[in-house]
Amino acid sequence: MLTEQLIFRAIAHPARRNMLAMLAESPLSVKELTSRFKMSQPAVSQHLKELREARLVCSEREGLEQRYRLTPQPLRYVIRWAERYKALVDPTGHLWSFTGTSEKPMKRQQSKGGTHGG
């Protein structure tokens, strides 16, 4: 499987995205990650395996534990892909203009002639 496909498959799962966010802050062991999720240690290990295969994380042995850390370089594929859509969400080119704001659902517009269908 191509590297890009592995990366997108790896980040498709919300638990793996959460793990990446945690590992971006500091390296963690499987035990530490497991304590932060409502899933078993084997499930956490399986998610880490997917992230390792996509080269989004690596691990180093510290004493008896494997400590995982984020390797952000593969995220360039995600950033490159998302760049295509930047103009749709930020037409003015001010990326800061939509950070920190909550997205509100768009109001449905009704025609001046009233509603359709009754």
The pLDDT tens digits of the residues spanning 21-46 come to 999 999 999 999 999 999 999 999 99
- One-character DSSP codes across the chain: --HHHHHHHHHTSHHHHHHHHHHHHS-EEHHHHHHTSSS-HHHHHHHHHHHHHTTSEEEEEETTEEEEEE--GGGHHHHHHHHTTHHHH-TTS-GGGGTT----PPPPP--TT--S--
Model confidence at 98, pLDDT cuts 50, 70, 90, reads low
pLDDT of residue 79: 92
The token pair at 77 is 């594929």
pLDDT of residue 96: 59
Four-point Cα dihedral 71, 74, 80, 82, nearest 10: -70
Q: What is the mean pLDDT of residues 99-109?
A: 48
CATH for the stretch 3-75: 1.10.10.10
pLDDT at 73 over 70: yes
Sequence spans of domains, the chain: 3-75
The values of phi and psi at residue 67, to 5°, are -110, 130
CB 25 within 8 A of CB 36: no
pLDDT of residue 92: 73
- Enumerate residues 6+ apart whose C-beta is below 8 A from 98: 89, 90
How many CB atoms neighbour CB 70 within 10 A?
21
Model confidence at 61, pLDDT cuts 50, 70, 90, reads very high
- HSE, side-chain direction, 13 A CA sphere, residue 78: 14
